Amino acid sequence: MPYSRAFFELQLRFAQALSDRFGLTLDEALWEYTTLPLSLGQGDEWKVYIAGLEQAEDLVNWTYDFYLPRAGVDLTPQDTHFHGNLLFGCFYYQVREGHIIRPHLIKRGTEGILGHAQLHQRREELARMFRHIKENEPEADEVLGNSWLYNLEAYRRLFPPAYTREMTISEEGEFRYLARWGQFFDRHWQIKEPLAEMLLSQVTELDNLEKLKDCFPYQILQPRCSLKEF
């Protein structure tokens, strides 16, 4: 599902608040602390976007209009890959450092994917994915997560208890990724207003840019365990 206008509106408001608070240019704030470089393009595309932004009467409209021709096509039930990665329902994985499995969850369609009614299906998808990993990734021996989603019991319950028993908070900013930003949007990419207002309020009172990640209501958590637990 393409991102909504609200998806960009919140990040533009956030970047403007950072700009006002710390004397950054809007370009700098957007580039370093939002998902826009990955959503709109980098290199020459980013230069075109910023040039237009500087002239735009409505920053949100310009941003959304710039994004729409670049929006990805919705996944269909027949799709077997996502950005080159094999899909297992709503999951795919990547291999890091040759032996670490990083699982990822993606939205497919407009229905909820973490409700109790979907619990059995999500667990079946994960089981199928890890069977594939054990059969096809001979060097893999560890699973490492990295997402705000692990704050939610509805997500944690999909995994073996050993995986989420001890989780560390990521020390990386990762402001360009949905691992941090996804917490502010529902399944239609509309803003969760209470969380968004909490974020913006915290930014206006922030005294040290190095503490920016602490303004986010949910931190990125990193569960970890042996692949044998799956």
Q: Are 210 and 140 in contact (CB under 8 A)?
A: no
Taking residue 85's Cβ as centre, other Cβ atoms within 10 Å add up to 14
User: In a 3-state reduction of DSSP, which class is residue 35?
Assistant: coil
- What pLDDT, in 10s, does the model give residues 34-76? 999 999 999 999 999 999 999 999 999 999 999 999 997 777 7
Q: Are 80 and 88 in contact (CB under 8 A)?
A: no
User: Rounded distance, CA 191 to CA 188, Å?
Assistant: 9
Any idea which residue has 């990993």 for tokens? 133
The answer to whether the predicted template modeling score (pTM) of the entire model surpasses 0.85 is yes
Give the model's pLDDT for residue 106.
92
Average pLDDT over residues 199-217: 96
Q: What share of the chain in percent tops pLDDT 90?
A: 90
Taking residue 155's Cβ as centre, other Cβ atoms within 10 Å add up to 19
Q: Are 23 and 42 in contact (CB under 8 A)?
A: no
Give the model's pLDDT for residue 111.
77
- What pLDDT, in 10s, does the model give residues 106-124? 988 767 899 999 999 999 9
- Helix or strand holding residue 203 (H, E): helix 193-205
- What pLDDT, in 10s, does the model give residues 133-173? 999 999 999 999 999 999 999 999 999 999 999 999 999 98
100-105 vs 142-144, strand pairing mode: parallel
pLDDT-derived band at 12, boundaries 50, 70, 90: very high
Q: How far is C-alpha 47 from the geometric centre of its chain's CA atoms?
A: 24
Radius of gyration of the chain from its Cα atoms, rounded to whole angstroms: 19
